[in-house]
């Protein structure tokens, strides 16, 4: 899924990573490239424009988080923009709460995957929601389509309304409603007729069926591979039929993602499911977070930035940056860093978000580097007096002994913390000598 789009966006991010700070020009250039990537992915132009405006404002606005690398923040901004485009973080569940049978009407063009999706949905509702489901095909012009649904019903063990030759779509609808009611089915899925192209006859028929069956859900099934055509189809159907949601099929083969990314913004309708293969269980609940994560392929960085921004304390960060700029880094600062690490889920949490660190993690665990170490270091620092934290040189043997006793550790452990602090303080001093640019990088670390 989304290979092409992913490749383009990864290229954009690669070009900006490694830069300490991003100027407005850098951001503008990155956004220009993101724009091209989206257009190449066949996303509708107005949607792209809106997205770029949103992302540029965020990237250059005041919400810049200093504790993360600017490039990572751009990744997060693009991620947020995609989520917005896709309709928000929370999946919109299928509504089946109605006096039984709750009717789910499936509409769409022929070949969009409507019949397959009807069966997939029936299987989901039966298997996960324990609903008693009946399906009925209204495709009176194509006996093969009716037969296909009957076959699928057998395969997944879901009831299908028996075929009666010569009935109209409206007649079948009435019979299906009655039959489902009498037999106590919770949900009735109506698979309406499709045409190769949109036509008046098709629209009238679906509209009439909807009027009779009063569906709680009217889903449009569209083939994501047809890109903007799928979006136009959805809009045309919606103009005639109050749709409640969309199902995009063949997402498994969609390298571009243009239909998916435009659908919500153009039609205002939530995407509820994605068809992800030919098999009857290949239907995923649409989750914008998952999709955006796959498009970017940078889910780990997004999680990292999210965590950092949750705990963001701008004033503290600025104060820290000013101190660092003067080459100062005392034990209180070290304690602050430890706190920050803990808030980000500790070492394990931070490392878990970085790709390819499983091996390193186990090595660290073997050598005793773990979250207990952070806690131990914190205990040691908090056993010091204020003066000691500001001026570690005060720490002679007897003071160290007192601190070790206070923290419940050995003097050796105290020495280790002091050594670590010295090393960090040295780096800070060196950085301060390196000038403001270096400092910015450091503060962003
Ligand atoms: P209908 O004419 O709209 O009812 O379309 P069908 O349900 O008959 O589907 C047409 C073809 O698309 C069939 O061969 C399905 O197996 C295939 N199909 C449907 N949904 C998906 C999907 O999500 N992924 C893939 N790869 N194929 C699908």
Closest by CA to 65, choosing from 237, 255, 309, 247, is 309
Ligand 1, closest atom to CA 275? 23
ipTM over 0.95: yes
The answer to whether 221 and 269 have CB atoms below 8 angstroms apart is no
Residue-by-residue pLDDT tens, the chain, 445 positions: 788 888 888 888 888 877 767 777 888 888 899 999 999 989 999 999 999 998 888 877 645 556 567 778 888 888 889 999 999 888 889 999 889 999 999 999 999 999 999 999 999 999 999 999 999 999 998 889 999 999 999 999 999 999 998 999 999 999 999 999 999 999 999 999 888 777 888 889 999 999 999 999 999 999 999 989 999 999 999 998 999 999 999 998 888 889 999 999 999 999 999 999 999 999 999 999 888 888 887 656 666 666 666 555 555 666 666 777 777 788 888 887 777 666 665 555 555 555 444 555 555 555 555 667 778 888 899 899 988 998 998 999 999 999 999 888 999 999 998 998 888 888 778 777 765 555 455 444 4
- For a mutational test of ligand 1's pocket, the pick from 189, 259, 278, 279, i.e. the residue with the most ligand atoms closer than 8 A to its C-beta, is 278
- The counts of H helices and E strands in the chain are 21, 8
Choose which CATH entry (1.10.10.10, 3.40.50.12780, 1.10.260.30, 3.40.50.2000) describes domain 313-443. 1.10.260.30
Reported in sequence order, the residue ranges of 138-212 that DSSP labels E, i.e. its strands, are: 159-160, 187-191
Distance from C-alpha of 194 to C-alpha of 207, rounded to nearest angstrom: 13
CA-nearest residue, atom 16 of ligand 1? 278
CATH number of 3-90+296-301: 1.20.120.140
CB 254 within 8 A of CB 2: yes
* Topology adopted by domain 102-286: Rossmann fold (3.40.50)
Q: What distance lies between CA 60 and its chain's CA centroid?
A: 23
Atom of ligand 1 nearest to the CA of 109: 3
Q: Is the CB of 11 under 6 A from ligand 1?
A: no
Q: Which of 285, 251, 283 is nearest to 270 (CA)?
A: 285
| Domains of the chain, residue spans | 3-90+296-301, 102-286, 313-443
CA dihedral (398, 400, 402, 404) positive or negative: negative
Q: Can you read off the two tokens belonging to residue 385?
A: 């007096």
Length of the chain: 445
């Amino acid at each position: 899924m989304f290979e092409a789009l992913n490749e383009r966006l990864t290229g954009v991010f690669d070009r900006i990573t490694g830069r300490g700070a991003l100027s407005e020009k850098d951001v503008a250039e990155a956004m220009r490239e993101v724009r091209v990537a989206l257009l190449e992915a066949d996303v509708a132009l107005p949607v792209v424009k809106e997205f770029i405006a949103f992302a540029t404002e965020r990237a250059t606005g005041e919400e810049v988080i200093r504790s993360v690398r600017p490039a990572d923040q751009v990744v997060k901004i693009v991620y947020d923009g995609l989520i917005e485009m896709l309709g928000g973080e929370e999946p919109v569940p299928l509504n089946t709460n109605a006096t039984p049978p709750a009717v789910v009407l499936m509409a769409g063009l022929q070949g969009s995957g409507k019949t397959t999706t009807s069966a997939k949905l029936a299987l989901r509702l039966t298997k996960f929601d324990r609903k008693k489901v009946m399906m009925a095909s209204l495709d009176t012009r194509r006996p093969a389509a009716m037969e296909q649904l009957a076959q699928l019903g057998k395969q997944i063990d879901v009831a299908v309304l028996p075929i009666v030759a010569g009935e109209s779509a409206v007649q079948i609808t009435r019979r299906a409603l009655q039959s489902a009611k009498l037999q106590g089915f919770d949900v009735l899925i109506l698979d309406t007729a499709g045409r190769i192209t949109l036509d008046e006859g098709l629209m009238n028929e679906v509209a009439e069926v909807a009027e009779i069956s009063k569906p709680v859900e009217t889903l449009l099934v569209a083939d994501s591979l047809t890109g903007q055509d799928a979006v136009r189809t959805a809009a045309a159907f919606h103009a005639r039929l109050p749709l409640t949601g969309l199902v995009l099929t063949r997402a498994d083969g969609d390298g571009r993602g243009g239909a998916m990314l435009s659908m919500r913004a153009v039609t205002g309708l939530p995407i509820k499911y994605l068809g992800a293969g030919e098999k009857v269980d290949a239907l995923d609940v649409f989750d914008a977070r998952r999709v955006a994560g796959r498009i970017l392929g940078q889910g780990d960085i997004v999680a990292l930035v999210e965590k950092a921004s949750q705990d963001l304390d701008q004033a503290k960060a600025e104060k820290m940056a000013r101190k660092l700029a003067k080459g100062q880094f005392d034990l209180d600062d070290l304690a602050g860093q430890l706190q920050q690490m803990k808030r980000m889920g500790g070492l394990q949490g931070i490392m878990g978000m970085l790709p390819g660190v499983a091996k390193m993690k186990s090595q660290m665990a073997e050598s005793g580097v773990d979250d207990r170490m952070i806690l131990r270091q914190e205990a040691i620092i908090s056993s010091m007096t204020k003066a000691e934290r500001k001026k570690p040189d005060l720490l002679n043997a007897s003071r160290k002994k007192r601190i070790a006793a206070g923290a419940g550790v050995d003097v050796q452990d105290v020495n280790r913390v002091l050594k670590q602090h010295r090393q960090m303080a040295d780096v800070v001093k060196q950085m301060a000598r390196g000038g403001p640019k270096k400092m910015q990088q450091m503060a962003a670390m």
